[in-house]
């Protein structure tokens, strides 16, 4: 299967920050940039890309667009409609739900507690993606200095955008979390790692 036959959909549900954050991580400050880089690389690699489709409300002050209770919200209904329309044109649709995390993320705290390196990426709900041949090695080459742990958290029912995409019939879907701290410390990191991920996603579609 060629790259041109795969249609990617990029979503960024947690773009909008809360007006009164009260010290919480209320929005994903790196997610839009990560999605834009993914879009750029996928287009250069020959894929069709829709999005990024940006969330329009704060997850803490209105509704979390990545939870089941948001399915009746207009943004989620529009996303469903787009996916159904795309599936009418090609069975090869790949949804990528893009997020970012700070140092308070549970996998970061757990790594620190266990004395392990601070993770810089997390892939949720799709172990096949993380386990694609050559993926860890390619990421090692994309990351600066010593290798940092790649986190895979499989099967969380809370990640409803990915879950709903599969219900509709989307063949591939994954939630990816990017480290905000890593991007601050290395301005070139995001472009390198998103290129590796774009290549890996196209690799999956050829399996």
Q: Which tens digits make up the pLDDT trace of 11-60?
A: 999 999 888 766 678 899 999 999 999 999 999 999 999 999 999 999 88
At 198, the pLDDT band (50, 70, 90 cuts) reads: very high
Judge contact between 66 and 59, C-beta under 8 A: yes
What is the structure's pLDDT at 142?
A: 65
Neighbours of 70 (CB within 10 A): 22
pLDDT for residue 67:
93
Q: Which residues contact 62 (CB under 8 A, 6 or more apart)?
A: none
Mean pLDDT value across the chain: 84
Average pLDDT, integer, range 136-140: 67
Question: How high is the pLDDT of residue 147?
Answer: 47
**Alpha carbons 110 and 158: distance in angstroms, whole number:** 20
Residues 6+ apart with CB under 8 A from 106: none
pLDDT tens profile 88-107: 999 999 999 999 998 777 77
Fill in the DSSP letter of residue 54.
E
8 Å CB contact between 149 and 177: no
Residue 169 has pLDDT above 90, yes or no: yes
The pLDDT of residue 113: 83
| CATH code matching the domain that covers 3-205, chosen among 3.50.50.60, 3.90.950.20, 3.40.190.10, 3.40.630.40 | 3.40.630.40
**pLDDT at residue 146 in the model:** 44
Angle between helices 189-205 and 31-44 (to 10 degrees): 50
Domain ranges of the chain: 3-205
């Amino acid at each position: 299967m060629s790259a041109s036959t795969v249609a990617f959909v990029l979503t960024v549900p947690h773009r909008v920050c809360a007006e009164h954050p009260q010290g919480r991580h209320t929005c994903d400050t790196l997610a839009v940039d990560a999605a834009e880089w993914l879009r750029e690389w996928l287009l250069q690699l020959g894929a069709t890309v829709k999005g990024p489709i940006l969330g329009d409300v704060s997850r803490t002050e209105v509704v979390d667009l990545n939870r089941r209770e948001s399915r009746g919200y207009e943004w989620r209904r529009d996303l469903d409609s787009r996916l159904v329309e795309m599936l009418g044109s090609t069975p090869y649709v790949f949804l990528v739900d893009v997020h970012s995390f700070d140092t308070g993320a549970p996998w970061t705290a757990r790594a620190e507690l266990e004395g392990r390196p601070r993770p810089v990426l997390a892939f949720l709900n799709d172990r096949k993606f993380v386990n694609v041949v050559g993926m860890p090695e390619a990421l090692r080459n994309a990351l600066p200095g010593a290798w940092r742990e790649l986190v895979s958290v499989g099967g969380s029912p809370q990640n409803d955008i990915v879950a709903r995409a599969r219900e509709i019939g989307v063949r591939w879907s994954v939630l990816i979390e990017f480290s905000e701290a890593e991007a601050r410390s290395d301005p070139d990191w995001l472009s390198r790692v998103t290129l590796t991920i774009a290549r890996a996603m196209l690799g999956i579609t050829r399996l």
